[in-house]
Structure 1
Amino acid sequence: MKLRNRKHLVVTDTDYGAVLLDSKSGQYWQLNPPGAVIVRTLLDGEGPDEAIRRVTERFDVETERATTDVHALIDAMRSAGVVEK
């Protein structure tokens, strides 16, 4: 998996997680704290398995739930044209 338009993606921390901005398209997403960890992991060049590990390490969440959440966010980002396989 790789992030398309990576140089156009900007993540800014907020009091409630983060905001992901695609400065090329103008689209943006409000991310909760686990979502922010997932996106930062992907921007670091890591894949879903590492994102799942980081989420379960930082938050009180079961691996099964983290797996579902990670893949749901990746699917949403893929639909938005930000992530491609």
Structure 2
Amino acid sequence: METTGAEFRLRPDVSMAETDYGLVLLDGRNGEYWQLNDTAAQIVQRLLDGHSPDEVVRFLVSEYEVTSADAERDVAELVAGMLESGMVTR
């Protein structure tokens, strides 16, 4: 996992809305959307706020009953999926 703060940003045509269950990201170009549960929403929000993936992992380990390895895998998979979908950029 990277230790430096790579800046994550939503693409300009992606909108974000809070729901009772977390966040929804909507891609205005193609109508694709991601519904994120509360934990995934916290990961995304922290990344968008400028926290590095390693900082997000440490937060998850301190707040939830999750191992560092599991948190690192979850953050990496979410970041990879969002970058691949084009929802976020670095």
Task: Give the shorter-chain TM-score range.
Answer: 0.7 to 0.9
Cα deviations by residue, 1:24-71 (Å, 9 ceiling, x for unpaired): 553321112210111001111222112112222222211110100000
Deviates more, 1:68-77 or 1:29-38: 29-38
Q: Does 1:72 align with 2:80?
A: no
Task: Give the CA RMSD over aligned residues.
Answer: 2.2
Unaligned 5+ runs, structure 1? none
**Structure with greater helix percent:** 1
List alignment gaps of at least 5 residues for structure 2.
1-5
Higher relative contact order by CA 8 Å / sep ≥ 6: 1 or 2? Answer: 2
Q: TM-score, normalised by structure 1?
A: 0.76
Looking at structure 2, the residues matched to 67 and 49 of structure 1 have their Cα atoms a distance apart, in angstroms, of 8
Output aligned runs, 1:24-63, within 5 Å: 25-63=30-68
Which of residues 2, 10, 14 is equivalent to 2:19?
14
Greater Cα shift, 27-36 or 7-16: 7-16
Count of aligned residue pairs for this structure pair: 85
TM-score, normalisation: structure 2? 0.73
Rounded Cα–Cα distance in structure 1 between residues aligned with 2:55 and 2:22: 19
Query: Shift of residue 9 of structure 1?
Result: 4.0
**Percent of aligned positions that are identical:** 41
SS at match of 2:18: strand
